Structure 1
């Protein structure tokens, strides 16, 4: 029988095994380490890792963090595994292909981190690029047409916007132009982290949870151009919040509305128009259970996340909808949904 070539072993076998197994295989010998560390290997392995079973939930404590699988059948978390936590305190802003974009709360630095491999890259520079300030900035992680992982950073300082893009391939920042309405410079507006869908990063810009203006700012990652589109046409009846999610590369928004009795609707963006997909009955919910939007829905039910990181189930009279939604930041408890991959924060 003919010998199997190294290329077949690497690109047909190892690209199909879990990321943690790849990490262990790198220690076998220098040849394997070299072959399993290439950009091409990481790209193919990542493309074959985009399945639900590789989704994990990361919970971040004060000094440690743990990674948990999700049991779709029971709608609960599996046993956690403690992973090395190289930071003191973080906020999680975005995730893509196993990379997390996080902010260090003590130093304000932005960092790209792969919690599966433990590798990370600080994006701060001596000329003050890569420093994030909570409630002032907007950030998003994306990949462009040249397969370069990039970070968009929208700074708001002293009534002036400064927009910069970090390139992983160049390991450097550069400024790009941004024109928007003057009122969005006001500190009364809050910018969400960016949600990547297709070739667009979407930012939710909200004046207030109760009343006020709500819009989406869209950034074309290849043309590097911005535009504004409206929120779904929902009349506010109290606390009003929209959470963006990417489902199979289509943009949806969960809109929660009310106070102690909440209504939740799911809207889908088609071109620049919103189409209502689902609406749940009004749900009585005390403020201590006030939820961030669900990170997945299965068997026809919505699962919402409480402040304490517990799942809260709302029964839906609809067909099963099998998909996962990512979570950027839990209320009072940091965490994120991510894929286990070998994608590196550096080249």
Structure 2
């Protein structure tokens, strides 16, 4: 029987084994270490290792939300745990603007503040600053979450004020905003 190419072993077989075994496989040789450390491998491994019993859904009601497991056989939700908005106070209307890996970027509609919120742990971080960064206006702004090459969570906030576009990026690691020059014609 012919030898299997390393690429086939890594991307077709090792993307299907438990993470603990992948960690052990990194010590086989330098080539395996390099291949098992790429973003492509991590992405494929994560997508293939999703176990249906670990999948959850976030259901949001008026002032509470619940995290519930998905029952794959019946396509229904199992009993879940209720999570109360930790930043709630009277007349607090919350909008979810973006999400990534269970982390949500939300807007408090009465103050226009942006927050990063993990509904599973109920931890949150206010992104608004005294110099007006992190304030969101519906129908004028756009917000998105992404992870950069250094695994730092970022919030992209595009503002439209008085006909001018401003592009800002918040870094979770540095805990600050920076302006991205944006040229329009």
TM interval, short-chain normalised? 0.5 to 0.7
Q: 1:106 aligns with which of 98, 107, 110?
A: 110
2:120 is equivalent to residue 116 of structure 1: yes
Q: 2:181 aligns with which of 159, 177, 180?
A: 177
Distance change in 2, residues 1:135/1:148 (3 Å)? same
1:137-171 superposed Cα distances (whole Å, 9 cap, x missing partner): 11100110111111000001111101100001110
SS at match of 1:128: coil
**Alpha-carbon shift at residue 72 of structure 1 (Å):** 2.5
- Aligned pairs, how many? 138
| 1:158-173 alignment, distance < 5 Å | 158-173=162-177
Task: Measure, in 1, the Cα distance between the counterparts of 2:57 and 2:93.
Answer: 18
1:157 matched residue in structure 2: 161
Task: Measure, in 2, the Cα distance between the counterparts of 1:149 and 1:53.
Answer: 27
Residue segments in structure 2 that go unaligned for 5+ positions in a row: 1-18, 21-41
Note if contact 2:116-2:125 (Cα within 8 Å) is conserved in structure 1: yes
2:77 is equivalent to residue 73 of structure 1: no
1:6 matched residue in structure 2: none
**Alpha-carbon shift at residue 128 of structure 1 (Å):** 0.4
Q: CA RMSD for the aligned pairs?
A: 2.3
**Alpha-carbon shift at residue 74 of structure 1 (Å):** 1.8
Task: Measure, in 1, the Cα distance between the counterparts of 2:110 and 2:70.
Answer: 31
1:129 matched residue in structure 2: 133
Task: Measure, in 1, the Cα distance between the counterparts of 2:114 and 2:183.
Answer: 24
**Alpha-carbon shift at residue 48 of structure 1 (Å):** 6.3
Residue segments in structure 1 that go unaligned for 5+ positions in a row: 1-10, 13-43, 182-347
Runs of 4+ aligned residues of structure 1 deviating over 4 Å after TM superposition are 47-50
**Alpha-carbon shift at residue 84 of structure 1 (Å):** 2.9
**Alpha-carbon shift at residue 180 of structure 1 (Å):** 4.2
Task: Measure, in 2, the Cα distance between the counterparts of 1:54 and 1:94.
Answer: 22
**Alpha-carbon shift at residue 107 of structure 1 (Å):** 1.0
**Alpha-carbon shift at residue 61 of structure 1 (Å):** 2.2
TM-score scaled by length of structure 1: 0.37
Note if contact 2:53-2:71 (Cα within 8 Å) is conserved in structure 1: no
SS at match of 1:69: strand
